[in-house]
Structure 1
């Protein structure tokens, strides 16, 4: 154990509790509150891990259940162009409606003007929502229960269960669904061709055959913890993030074990394992031009270049975009504009533009607490935070403006998924945004890209975007603690 982690372990429990109390301003426990890791926590020992239940048979099952509706969103959209009187007030009469989906209907023809606001909530009292994936009319939700639920047209449709517990990442690849779990495993599910409500587990990454074959060769073992070795193709800590490359032939998995691994989707073979960071890797995204980006609890964002070598692949370190004191917690890529966005535990969103050789474009200041998730769609950027809000940003040439602050969750916003709203006219360019929270709900929003920017600016920001001349280090503003101490930012998310 290095001196840095040793100092953290020797801090008194009272100091840690005091600091964490300032961060959270709530009574929830550390492990329940967030799901990314801050610096040095990975070296403090295994006590922080969520312990999965004993392994059993994973299975799929259809749903035909009634869900409780969460209390409706009582405030109108913060888009000033949307009048409060246009909400259907009849929908707010019963906060415990038995319908799994309830819509706040805008009076009149909403295609004639920009509309941004809450449409409804999906609630199931079974755990915090940690992961989302959307594809067309389907939405997959993962939580700290054993269930992955499937929603079709915002109604309970199907689901499947794994005994691993916490589902930290979900990604859809055609008729297959990959789920990343707290136990370090990636499970593979396939939709039945006869019954789309049935999802059958068809394997895991790495495969059992690959693990057995690899175990016979001593050179395949690496030291994962003190006095403990494992084959290199296996993650030995929680899966934090999953992403597919441009043609969906490669799957990338990031883990708290400080590595990211490369898997060939066609045969589930692990092609590479890259020791990427000095601490937990909280996010990995595949970008443009064969580039892969990783963000870590060590405070850095790194760029990796992919090169194909015969039937294999090789990733080379390219550059470090950011090195800071606070943890990098989320990444997202704007493919059409070739921009990389990075959310941090200090509440900031940094971004870099590829067409300017990854020069630093600026900082989006819209949150008081850690940014837990990011998503992009069209010219919009969405940031979800531990402050329970979602900021909607619109990219305009070299600048970003804040369109809306979506407020409705009562817990940290942990995950986001965005789909095009096909029910509106093409000129409106609207999107359906799904937000998963640790308040155990998924909220559905309609967001118009044509909305008028917020006036005045967000309360905590004097300027929405600050431009810098490509700095490599950004000091923490310590927005998680009034004291700003290093101890107060070390947290098991």
Structure 2
């Protein structure tokens, strides 16, 4: 069949509405068979779209794009469900996926793409963030606490400490200087957060955990004894919503509802972290919800209520702590809620219920959107991703969590255009997506 005739003989099911699985008794639904699609050579960069049989349990959509000198194929290969709705945070450690939903954490085993539920444990407060230090799991909560967990021999998660620890409180509660005024007639120890802890980050090399909160404070904890070393009580003028750490340079970035990003650093010989610079977007100062940084720390991404992703790049001739506004990435029609970087890819989730994949290029535009992933029924709140190489292709596995209570597993394949074009099978080849 020639390429032109594909449009003239468009299958009837291409115009059918997309369906979703109604099963709620299982944690996972997946295709019952492999879906295949065909790629054709075209003379101009355009997009092809093919839908698999809509009668499958999981409505699996496969999209193929030819752009930026690459083939992009993406599909939803599985949907994971939790007992409680509203996925608020996702974290990936090896072959284990942690999904926070209200005050529960669901642990999925990803070995051999089984996606089986390995454990489920309940916390005292709503979970806002998850991070890992060696064999321990740290969670941040809406009740102003950080909790540390360890995995038992039976692969269950056991609470081992609540931070601030009792010891840390007792050693500081006697002296009046350790108290700060939080309300008109209320005082708290300076080591305590007094509002939702919105984010956690780890610097293993320095042995530190960082926490940020809606109370506008930024605190530093020592991993070895979980002791609070430092607190910056008015780090921002409004709630702090996100934090990332560039381990290579020792820089900590915090983003706030006040529209600014602040860069913190503790240089050798200094006792405390100091504010090095403020990244202030003068073009559109709106509340910021998410941060992501590339692998070498030279590019920072931020997203917020104005629907745009802002790219910050290291200024020429200066260090990474001096970043300047580079450009906007436009495309989303809702607030940016989450961001994640994987090599030269940026993945964004939005309240418009979609994910977008952005790829860097050597052109002046910097990053371009190469795919839009649709399927969630409510805003996309959480993202994690991992990348592996397969021959000349780059295969990215993306896990997206939404307020609809579902976690979707996406497989994205990026193939080099020139290598495909020189292949004898380029004119027509089948791409199989394993269930």
Query: TM-score band, normalised by the shorter chain?
Result: 0.7 to 0.9
1:94 Cα deviation after fit: 3.1
Structure whose residues are more often strand by fraction: 2
Partner of 1:365: 330
Task: Select 1:152's aligned residue among 91, 106, 109.
Answer: 109
Return closer, same or farther for 1:216/1:82 CA change in 2, 3 Å cut-off: farther
Which structure 2 residues correspond to residues 162-241 of structure 1 after superposition, within 5 A? 162-164=123-125, 166-192=126-152, 194-195=153-154, 197-241=155-199
Partner of 2:122: 161
Give the Cα–Cα distance (whole angstroms) in 1 for the partners of residues 297 and 396 of structure 2: 18
Structure 2 residue 370 is matched with structure 1 residue 410: no
Give the Cα–Cα distance (whole angstroms) in 1 for the partners of residues 141 and 243 of structure 2: 15
Which structure 2 residues correspond to residues 6-405 of structure 1 after superposition, within 5 A? 66-67=26-27, 69=29, 84=50, 87=52, 89=53, 92-94=55-57, 114-144=72-102, 146-153=103-110, 154-164=115-125, 166-192=126-152, 194-195=153-154, 197-245=155-203, 247=205, 249-274=207-232, 275-287=234-246, 288-309=248-269, 313-323=271-281, 324-336=284-296, 338-354=298-314, 356=316, 357-397=322-362, 399-405=366-372
Partner of 1:23: none
1:127 Cα deviation after fit: 2.1
Structure number, greater radius of gyration: 2
Contact 2:346–2:357 under 8 Å retained in 1: yes
Partner of 1:484: none
Structure whose residues are more often helix by fraction: 1
CA deviation profile, 1:213-269 (whole Å, cap 9, x unmatched): 111111010111221110011111001111112637211111000011111112111
Contact 1:132–1:416 under 8 Å retained in 2: yes
Gaps of 5+ in 1: 1-64, 96-101, 107-111, 453-493
Give the Cα–Cα distance (whole angstroms) in 2 for the partners of residues 289 and 70 of structure 1: 42
Contact 1:380–1:449 under 8 Å retained in 2: no
Contact 1:292–1:306 under 8 Å retained in 2: no
Normalising by the residue count of structure 1, what TM-score does the alignment of the two structures yield? 0.68
Count of residues in Structure 1 that have an aligned counterpart in Structure 2: 363
Give the Cα–Cα distance (whole angstroms) in 2 for the partners of residues 70 and 224 of structure 1: 50
Normalising by the residue count of structure 2, what TM-score does the alignment of the two structures yield? 0.77
Partner of 2:14: none
Task: Select 2:413's aligned residue among 448, 452, 467.
Answer: 448
CA deviation profile, 1:312-353 (whole Å, cap 9, x unmatched): x52111111115542011111112362110101111111111
* Bigger mean CA deviation after superposition, 208-217 or 247-256: 247-256
CA deviation profile, 1:420-455 (whole Å, cap 9, x unmatched): 24xx61531221111111011111111234477xxx
Contact 1:114–1:451 under 8 Å retained in 2: no
1:125 Cα deviation after fit: 3.8
Contact 1:221–1:232 under 8 Å retained in 2: yes
Contact 1:130–1:415 under 8 Å retained in 2: yes
* Bigger mean CA deviation after superposition, 249-258 or 329-338: 329-338
Partner of 1:470: none
